[in-house]
Chain A
């Protein structure tokens, strides 16, 4: 098992280096940040001086080595846009994104799994068909459209929920949270639904098909023959055996929840890292974009690692196979 983890770690570093290389080269083509940094009527000499100071006149390989060296030490320099350290910018925005992604994941899991179980158990019931139809909307409509429709309905027409922003937050050290006030929680509802809807659909469909499969297996029939309660059969035996693929998908999707939160964040003006990234792209703010891409790369690598380890916990067969070798 240790060898397995080490192997995965080595692979992870290779992946991160590649991400670094790709992002570095991408950024050489997003345009000249100088034009965003200074006004249109800034004298030429000042532009030139700024370019020199930022090291933009160095040859590309030199710039890349600097970049990787600094990235390894967690130094991404100063944002071109705000002149603030990139680390602090990202750290400040991280809680907002993590809380949003967490709520979206909880929403997707705790609504998606029961819906999946239900539609799996009663595939022909009209309510199952309704769930299926709704889930189709979840997969087919793009996130920004769902977000805008929700805002239109719940904020503009019904006035129930705020249309954008984080609402009220409290601060604990560097962490800011929405969970301490009613206003903060209200602000979380629409963005979480928007962000989590696609995952919910995915989880529900996955659980449903797995349930359909499992319910036909022999051990379920035997369990029934033994006279176990429906509840014990459905949740104790059937659901548990559907969980391996669900964990894989949920794990990977958690990564995408964080990475793709940027669309939801833009729609809801949610001050997270995704929004920071979008602002940075518009500005060609290379240090922030690079740091963000590296961070997301790291996150995916870590999540994959955790998911791999979780298999061992959930599925006893994997354990025996590995130790048997």
Chain B
């Protein structure tokens, strides 16, 4: 009796192992994120999650490898013919997953669509005058101004099929006011590593490998199931229960708990986004302050005193639970133009020394200022701001914090889109990643250059920091094609803004992904998640 019971148990165990292996052979990879991909159309939005998801189905001309360096995809060779012309030589023999061949016509069509009405990725075409097909495997681009970063920008532009878009009436990217369905919002068909098997918006998206992909797969998946799970606790529970294999966003509070689970591994890396604080340095009197008739933030000594009183390492230890990478620069490592030797924060000041600086500037008793902070945009954003409030209180700067949801917060701090006038903030937190170009110039142009709506510079320079010398350098960097000269100018410009205490860079937040032990994947620093690197054992 006992024996047979034992045998039965062994048999049952065997069956269980058998069924497990057969499931494992199928190599299904199930993963979750807090939200769904908002569209299947790769031009619908300039947003990391959408771009990285659709990049599994579509290929760009030039793609990024694990280390974010460019490598050939649909273009095998590319480069500048002269300062104002670029060429892309296309890969021969590539087919779309519906079997139609890929040619230069598709590239010309896609670039036109990405730069056309309804598209949100047309920011990548600001330097482009025109593009034309030379033959089936070569296109050439003519520029308005020299642009050494064209290939970098276009690495996020997926190439679509001309025939497919025309057949399905999706020649233009989905336009917000058109009251008709755009086929490409719900469907996708490209040359990429995966094809869409099933798509139910907000519920589930199933991908399977593209058998006709031009590249040799390094993944071993046979099916990928993506589900949006809004509640973080449910995502973590599902991961622990084995209902999903990986979750893209892990709340800092759950990280330690997950690390203790023997079935789960946690990947942490610095994100390319830098979270920083900025001041209103533009107005003659602050909107939210008890100082009347002058603006304390225009005085470099005040900025220095505040900057050097904020202990980013303490913020890392306490608020961020170790999951941040303090920085002195406005760009992160991995971004072209990151200057390592300048990434050194000035030492912390003792409160009495900081107070002395403030006294020298004419504020012996400190002063009061408002501060704006989001509470649902960056990791622990509100708590970081609260910590800053406490640190500044020690030097006599009383900060009145207003933390609110991102829509209201952005509406309060961003410059007017109509006339470029500054908004209603005095002191604020913002995060920025040069996600289009992976180059420091994007940060210089958008955040540090003097705001000028006509020149489209400094549009996100909410506080209006301005330094003529810096502006000149940034404009030269934009068109300089000689790398050595360009790097030297970047170095000089970086020195200017750090010495000026233009901003208070705080940290890069950590990207935390968690997965089952049997999953092997690559976590690039730009928070993209290419499925082509995933392996399930």
Chain A interface residues toward B at CB < 8 A: 30-33, 35-48, 50-51, 53-54, 77-78, 80-85, 89, 92-93, 144, 147-148, 151-152, 155-156, 159, 162-166, 266-269, 271, 275-276, 278-279, 282, 284
Question: Does residue B386 face the partner (Cβ distance < 8 Å to A)?
Answer: no
Whether B410 lies near A85 (C-beta < 8 A) is no
Contact in complex: B407, A31 (CB < 8 Å)? yes
Say which one of B87-95, B453-461, B491-499 lies at the interface with A: B453-461
Q: Which of B176-184, B342-350, B473-481 touches A?
A: B176-184
Q: Which residues of B contact A93 (CB under 8 A)?
A: 202
Give chain B residues whose Cβ lies under 8 Å from the Cβ of A166.
Answer: 203
Segment at the A interface, from B141-149, B214-222, B237-245, B351-359: B237-245
Chain B residues whose C-beta falls within 8 Å of the C-beta of A33 in the assembled complex: 407
- Complex Cα distance, B179 from A70, in Å, reads 13
Asked if A53 and B417 make an inter-chain contact with CB atoms under 8 angstroms apart, the answer reads no
Q: Which residues of B contact A165 (CB under 8 A)?
A: 204, 227, 229, 243
**Contact present for A83 and B230 (CB under 8 Å):** no
Asked whether B234 lies within 8 Å of A77 as measured between CB atoms, the reply is no
A23 → chain B, closest Cβ, in Å?
17
Query: Which of the four size classes fits the interface of chain B?
Result: 35 or more
Known: A83-B174, A155-B241, A275-B202. A37 touches B45 (CB 8 A): yes
Tell which of B176, B410, B411 touches A54, judged by Cβ atoms closer than 8 Å: B176
**Is B127 in the interface zone, CB < 8 Å from A?**
no
> How near does chain A come to B272, taking the closest CB pair, in angstroms?
13
Is B237 within 8 A of A43, CB to CB?
A: no
- With A41-B446, A156-B237, A163-B237 already in contact, the answer to whether A84 and B181 are too (CB < 8 A) is yes
- When distances are taken between beta carbons in the complex, the residues of chain B under 8 Å from A267 are 231, 233-234
CB atoms of A269 and B201 under 8 A apart: no
B229 close to A44 (CB less than 8 A): no
A sample of 28 inter-chain contacts (CB < 8 A) reads A32-B407, A35-B406, A41-B436, A41-B442, A44-B416, A44-B453, A51-B417, A54-B176, A83-B175, A83-B176, A83-B182, A84-B185, A89-B202, A144-B231, A152-B237, A155-B237, A155-B243, A156-B240, A163-B237, A163-B241, A164-B227, A165-B243, A267-B234, A269-B227, A271-B202, A271-B203, A271-B204, A282-B35
- B500 interfacial by beta-carbon distance below 8 Å: no
Interface residues of B in 89-128 (CB under 8 A from A): 120, 122-123
Given contacts A41-B436, A43-B123, A44-B416, 10 further A-B contacts (CB under 8 A): A33-B407, A35-B406, A41-B442, A44-B453, A78-B178, A82-B38, A164-B229, A266-B230, A271-B203, A279-B230
User: Shortest beta-carbon distance, A87 to chain B, in Å?
Assistant: 11
Closest residue of A by beta carbon distance from B229: A269
State which residues 16-42 of B face A: CB under 8 Å. 32, 35-36, 38-39
Contact call A271/B200, Cβ cutoff below 8 A: yes
Contact in complex: A39, B47 (CB < 8 Å) = yes
Q: How far is the CB of A142 from chain B (nearest CB, A)?
A: 13
Contacts of A78 in B (CB 8 A): 176-179
Do B459 and A44 touch (CB < 8 A)? yes
Q: List A contacts of B459 (CB < 8 A).
A: 43-44
Instruction: Give chain B nearest CB distance to A10 CB in angstroms.
Output: 32
User: What 0/1 readout, one digit per residue, does chain B (375-412) give for beta carbons within 8 Å of chain A?
Assistant: 01000000000000000000000000000011110110
- The 9 A-B residue pairs with the shortest CB-CB distance, nearest first, are A31-B407, A39-B46, A44-B417, A271-B203, A269-B229, A35-B410, A163-B238, A155-B241, A47-B417
Does A53 contact B227, Cβ atoms closer than 8 Å?
A: no
Q: Contact check, A43 vs B456: say whether CB atoms are below 8 A apart.
A: yes
Q: Which listed residue (B45, B175, B231) contacts A38, Cβ 8 A?
A: B45
B334 within 8 A of A: no
Q: Please give, as numbers and ranges, the residues of chain A lying within 8 Å of B120 by CB-CB distance.
A: 38-39, 42, 46
Contacts of A47 in B (CB 8 A): 417
